[in-house]
Amino acid sequence: MKFPRRRFLRLATIAVGLPAISRVADAQTYPAHPVRIVVGFAAGGAPDIAARLLAQWLSERLGQQFIIENRPGAGGNIATEAVLDAPADGYTLLLVSLANAVNATLYQQLKFNFIRDIAPVASISHEAYGMEVHPSFPAKTVPEFIAYAKANPGKLNMASAGNGTGLHMAGELFKIMAGVDMVHVPYRGSPPALTDLLAGQVQVIFCPLSSSIEYVRAGKLRALAVTTAARSEVLADLPTVGEFVPGYAASGWFGIGAPRKTPAEIVDRLNREINTGLADAKLKARFGELGVMVFVGSPSDFATHIAEETEKWGKVVRTANLRAD
């Protein structure tokens, strides 16, 4: 059977367009079933808090459950690898953090290239770390802390949520720029690190305010400063580290990523919905109560941010000669 040329061309054009039509239809019906957001750190810490706040809003907004799955270990690499190996259909997402930018340099034999293999979806938030000590610690200011650390080299224990986490890197940057020697003590997440600081087992932590602000407000921890370039709105009387160590600045941040080949239509749909959530007064206020600022942008904006942070913290890793265990 022969087709007239005009009919053949029309059918061929329709056939070529079918995949695009199918992708658009998938994006319009997405999500058709529950979505997993994999978090590479333990429940209760800043990454988990950010993921759960967003997941609750998306669940209510889109009518499907966005389920948090905590898969801690290897500085977030276990969770990252699990997501990058998952089907690229928008139903397995990763909570991306500063740790992902750090790990690109910290780990020598990763099974993935994060910048190449991730599809940045949307940024969520950024926040200050508090430089915090036990109330019994003798130093009450950053200059007093630096003087004490220099008088006791190698005798102060600095807790973190694990090698390569934002807590660790904020501390390493402080060590480099303030010229002090402290022993890094990594934990499996910020909750156990805070537990030991509250018990006086370690001396200092650079901790996301979302995880520690209630302890500071209750007087169970003493905050000496915040790590961002500007003061925090929720602890406005607290100075920045940079006021005493010129040029110092560090902040934690979170976003959502997906496997590299996730359809652009689904990535764009997720980006729009997340940005709508971050503009919602109630969700924005909830982040604000925790000392967290929403961080709105396009997928390409988030990709640029990841690349810049990877370069910045890669220099710190090399300068401090850090290696993953």
Question: Could you give the domains of the chain?
Answer: 35-127+251-319 (3.40.190.150), 128-243 (3.40.190.10)
Mean pLDDT taken over the chain: 92
Task: Write out pLDDT tens, residues 82-108.
Answer: 999 999 999 999 999 999 999 999 998
Q: What distances in angstroms separate CA 93 from CA 13, 57, 69, 260, 263, one per listed residue?
A: 34, 16, 10, 11, 13
Taking the model in full, what pTM does it have? 0.85
pLDDT at residue number 26: 60
What does the pLDDT look like over 259-286, one tens digit per residue?
999 999 999 999 999 999 999 999 999 9
pLDDT at 15: 57
Averaged pLDDT, 21-27: 55
**Which helix (H) or strand (E) is 92 found in, with range?**
strand 92-97
How far is 262 from 264, CA to CA, in rounded Å? 6
Beta-strand relationship, 66-70 and 35-39: parallel
